[in-house]
Amino acid sequence: MVALRLIPCLDVANGRVVKGVNFVGLRDAGDPVELACRYSQAGADELVFLDITATNEKRSTLVDLVRRTSESVTIPFTVGGGIRSLDGINELLRAGADKVSLNSSAVNDPSLISRGAELFGSQCIVIAIDARRNHDLSEKWEVYVNGGRKNTGLDVISWSQKVVRLGAGEILLTSMDGDGTQNGYDLELTKSISKNVPIPVIASGGAGCLRHIKEAFTVGKSSAALLASLLHDGDLTIEEIKKYLINEDLLIRPIEK
């Protein structure tokens, strides 16, 4: 069996890590390079670095910041935001990223997934899906793009299955309804995707306590849990989370002393 992963997320705007609730009300959470280094040393399994305003501002990801961040960490590192082409993917991988995360560009041009997987390998291609529940159809979620600003009308389950067929190696699944609330992951959403695709699913949006993280794995059947506010605000540490999950008999990579 493959160990379950804990992944701090660095949402970056204007060169700073930010955090909001339901994708709005952003507040400063620190320097991205400093936080990346801290989480790497603290025992995180991977990192995700998302330039959350790049797509809406129609610009590319901040490559220099990616390079400086990658030089500070010793764990796998995913980068997303504003990636529109194979050249963009190549530039970020050359800057030190291990994987790239595609969202809006994948919806706009699904062939980018298959072309990227063919050229760089499926393991490099992470598809980020920002999902919001359709409140008229409670068991349906729709895909949003442009930093959560635009509803595509795409069904999340159907889209997740399509990206697998196109060659994606992993799905980063964010509940927009849960984002930043600390009320728990959308376990129904996470489980619905996890049971319908054969690739790893990263649960994102809503972690507020240790139990929520455990449930992402045990109920949501995710392969990894993305963490932001809990860590940025100092409510929990990577070590505390890992000790708890290990004591709950989950397969977690221990922190090396």
What is the secondary structure of 57-87 as a DSSP string? TT----HHHHHHHHTT-SS-EEEESS--SHH
Residues 162 and 116: their CA atoms lie apart, in Å, by: 15
Hey, CA dihedral for 143, 181, 22, 109, is it positive or negative? negative
- Is 130 annotated as catalytic? yes
| Catalytic hit among 11, 45, 179, 186 | 11
Contact 75, 43 (CB under 8 A): no
**Whether 186 is catalytic:** no
Cα–Cα distance measured from residue 205 to residue 208, given in angstroms and rounded to the nearest whole number? 9
Phi-psi region of 221 (alpha: psi -120 to 50; beta: other; left: phi over 0): left
In whole angstroms, give the CA distance from residue 136 to residue 19. Answer: 29
State the catalytic residue, choosing from 45, 51, 130, 179: 130
Contact in structure between 47 and 73 (CB atoms under 8 Å): yes
Active site residues per annotation? 11, 130
